[in-house]
Structure 1
Amino acid sequence: MSAEREYHCEGCGISVQTEEPSALGYVPPAALEREMVLCQRCYRIRHYGEIGTVNQNPDIYLQKLGEIAGTDSLVVQVVDLFDFSGSWIPGIHRHIGDNPLLLLANKIDLFPRSTKWGRLREWLVQSARDLGITPIDVELCSAAKGLNMNETITAIEKYRQGRDVYIVGATNAGKSTFINRLLREVGGESQDVITTSPYPGTTLDAIRIPLEDGKAIVDTPGIVRRDRISEWVSPRDLKIVVPGETIRPKVYQLNDKQTLFLGGLARFDYVRGPRQPFVCYVSNRLYIHRTKLDHADVFQEKHCGGLLVPPADPEILPPWKKHVISLRGKEKQDVVIPGLGWIACGKEKATLHLWVPEGIRVMTRPAII
């Protein structure tokens, strides 16, 4: 490789090398002559749909995020609207310094048409404030479908005021998809510039995309959240867990002493309370099984990895942990499982047990739909 020039993969940002085919960043020497240099991994993702895990140190990505504090820039935090709690970057206010933050809620195409967007936007603003950030504005869009992109582009140009724009977010929030859509809408690009895939960790280093005024849009590596289920499953299972189309909510009228299995990833026990509806907002491809609570333990032991999938291999998950949840009965609440979805509960007092792999955060919130 030439000592005069350091090459970077234009798909994921990693420094490329020509010596070790099994290592990250490998390209055949002849590929350095191409106009667009892609590492072997990005080439295989784009042309063959191959996906693989990448073992990277999450602390390195946090260090890169912390470098933003020393810049004068606009920060655009992309969150997955369907997985807001799982795609938020904890402590982001400490990493970006005094730079303004524009909150971009992606994947609105996953929500039902009946969604009250004004109310949801207000919920986003309040949730961000509760997490330590007062965003300069909030935009909702779908990068995959191109929905509300004109409004989003206008907002970015309004607030950047001639500065660089850093696009940040957790893995799989849709940062790179958003930038590719942005470049198609504004720059007329006919193909994706940045490599995307449904598996976390596709972008490996910062990618600078020059703007006409000498500034740049910077795509940063996704921040890893090990406290959400989507980080633990295989690439094949991830295609089942992560929604790819508008959610069709599944409604269950449950009596107490009934159980719902969300594949082999979570178990929802309705322990005590009057008959009431529970609505599952999860991927349409995820199998949900209802059974009696008295039979749940035996059923789980017999069918995890078989009928109850994903995961195909239950051993990849940490041991399950029980979370006891008491519904107040004053308002409708959601029980949220980051990286998987949520269950909207009825308005009656109830006691629930939610079983998820140890380390996965579980929370309740006022119903957002």
Structure 2
Amino acid sequence: MSKAFQTIEKCPGCGSKIQHDKPGKPGFIPADVYERRLKEGKEILCQRCFKLKHYGMLVGEVDEDEIIDFLRKTVTKFRNFMYVLDIFDFEGTYRPEINEMIKDKNVIYVVNKFDILPKSVSGAQLKKWLTDRINNANSDNIFITSTKNEFGISKLKKYLENLRGEMLVLGVTNVGKSSLLKKLTNSKVTVSPYPGTTIGIVKHKLKNLKVYDTPGIIVNDRMIDLFDAECQAKILAKGEVNRKTFKPYPEEVIFIGGLCKISAKMKNEESLRPIFQIFAPENVSFHKTKNKNFIDNFPKYFGKELVPPCKKMDISGLNFKNLSIEVNEGFELSIPGLCWINIKRGPVQFDVYLPENVSVYIRPSLIQPKRKFKNS
């Protein structure tokens, strides 16, 4: 090891001592990467903070309980909070564990990625829908944004610039907190002076307000969390969500990616077929089939007809469940981290097959129907 490696260095992202021997632990950076970036005069971040800063992901040997414990201790130091949500994955990012931590606090809700919704959804319509969904929310403390096209950014920035003191930013992984704060503050990463933890929070400043960004909370009940980081990045909703209308026969199976399949029939009208739209990120595949060989051997098609997974994946360690769910017109079936299904003609009786840990929700429709379908 060169003499440079013996120099005591600390990661500016979390304050941990730089080390090269324990991957996954705070402060780890491969020795060759450290040496190269040191010679080139580039910023040196530990591997965990590098991925946190550039990809919004907390990696390594840190689990959900550790993050939640850290946040519970940190939350007591603040009165003001910014809770960042992802409108594509509302149920997956609006979390009871976060709500419990910030009850009786001053909270603003920033609902990000507005650009991915169909153009037919107006900001006013979305705000009304959110007000009905979010506890203790009103039109004054909900901000709808898009970091991609900067929708709502100037309004949020103006609001924050009129505040003083400190504000803590919370949210699960992949909601776009880092991108949002970069748009708002244009500040660089600095170490927050909070002792007693190797996880750390990152301080930004906006006029008279200090804004502290926290690591994304790791959850385990969204479909996207089952895939590797590279695949997550590929299937995250970036452009306007893909949608497809289905009018299936009862014997047909629809795969949404590779780990979720559904079949559907009308609840009461046997002579009619249900009609619904599935909304998912552009790289999530839809595949309708009644081929029994395909249905029984679906893992063979991972990364091909069925994405995600983005490549071969061993699912022998996953447990799956079958759910029977009735969804009426005016409601949607939401599968966090994957898709939502909007009912056009129902009520629809769904049989859903997916990993046991992935939650499923029925919610009032975000996408309002524009026309009635004939009885055909």
TM-score calculated relative to the size of structure 2: 0.79
What is aligned with 1:92? 98
2:296 matches 1:301: yes
Within 2, Cα distance between the matches of 1:349 and 1:43?
Answer: 48
Q: Which residue of 2 aligns with 1:251?
A: 245
Letter in structure 1 aligned against 2:149: K
Q: Does 2:185 align with 1:183?
A: yes
- Residues 1:242 and 1:19: Cα distance change in structure 2 (over 3 Å): closer
The aligned counterpart of 1:156 is 160
Alpha-carbon separation, structure 1, partners of 2:319 and 2:42 = 48
CA contact under 8 A between 2:78 and 2:167: conserved in structure 1?
no
Q: Which residue of 1 aligns with 2:11?
A: 8
CA–CA distance in structure 2, aligned partners of residues 92 and 238 of structure 1: 23
Go from structure 1 to structure 2 and tell me whether the alpha carbon gap of 1:106 and 1:305 turns closer, same or farther (over 3 Å shift): farther
The residue type paired with residue 27 of structure 2 is G
- 1:240-288 CA-partner distances (Å, limit 9, x unpaired): 4321211131112223332210120210111445223221110111121
Residue 28 (structure 2) aligns with: 26
Amino acid at match of 1:157: E
Counterpart residue number, 1:39:
46
Quote the RMSD (CA, aligned, Å).
3.3
**Could you tell me how far 1:76 is from its partner in structure 2?**
0.4
Aligned to 2:127: 121
Residue in 1 aligned with 2:193? none
Q: Which one of 316, 332, 335 corresponds to residue 334 of structure 1? A: 332
User: Does the aligned pair in 2 maintain the 1:67–1:95 contact within 8 Å?
Assistant: no
Residue deviations 1:169-207 (CA, integer Å, cap 9, x gap): 0111111111111123xxxx5xx759xxxxxxxx95311
User: C-alpha distance in 2, partners of 1:343/1:173?
Assistant: 21
Q: Is the 8 A contact 1:240 1:286 kept in 2?
A: no
**SS of aligned partner of 1:178:** helix
Matched ranges for 1:82-231 at <5 A: 82-129=88-135, 133-134=136-137, 137-158=141-162, 161-184=163-186, 193=189, 204-210=199-205, 212-213=207-208, 216-231=210-225
Q: 1:99 to 1:31 in 2, by over 3 A?
A: farther
In structure 2, the residue matched to 1:283 is: 281
Shift of 1:35: 8.3
Q: Measure, in 1, the Cα distance between the counterparts of 2:287 and 2:142.
A: 37
> Conserved in 1, the CA contact under 8 Å of 2:330 and 2:343?
yes
Q: Give the AA of the match of 1:80.
A: D
Pick closer, same or farther for the CA change 1:39–1:53 going to 2, 3 Å: closer
Partners of 1:363 and 1:234 in 2: CA distance: 24
Query: Where does residue 361 of structure 2 map in the other structure?
Result: 363
Identical columns (%): 24
- Secondary structure at the counterpart of residue 242 of structure 2: coil
The corresponding residue for 1:199 is none
Cα pair distance change 1:17/1:33, threshold 3 Å: farther
Task: List runs of 5+ in structure 1 lacking aligned partners.
Answer: 195-202
Q: Is the 8 A contact 2:58 2:216 kept in 1?
A: no
* Residues 1:65 and 1:242: Cα distance change in structure 2 (over 3 Å): same
Asked if 1:63 is matched to 2:62, the reply is no
Contact map agreement 1:77 1:102 (CA 8 A) in 2: yes
How much does 1:361 deviate?
0.4
TM-score, normalised relative to structure 1: 0.81
SS in 2 for 1:75: strand
Cα deviation code 1:320-361 (max 9, x no counterpart): 211111134xx3221110011111122322211111101110
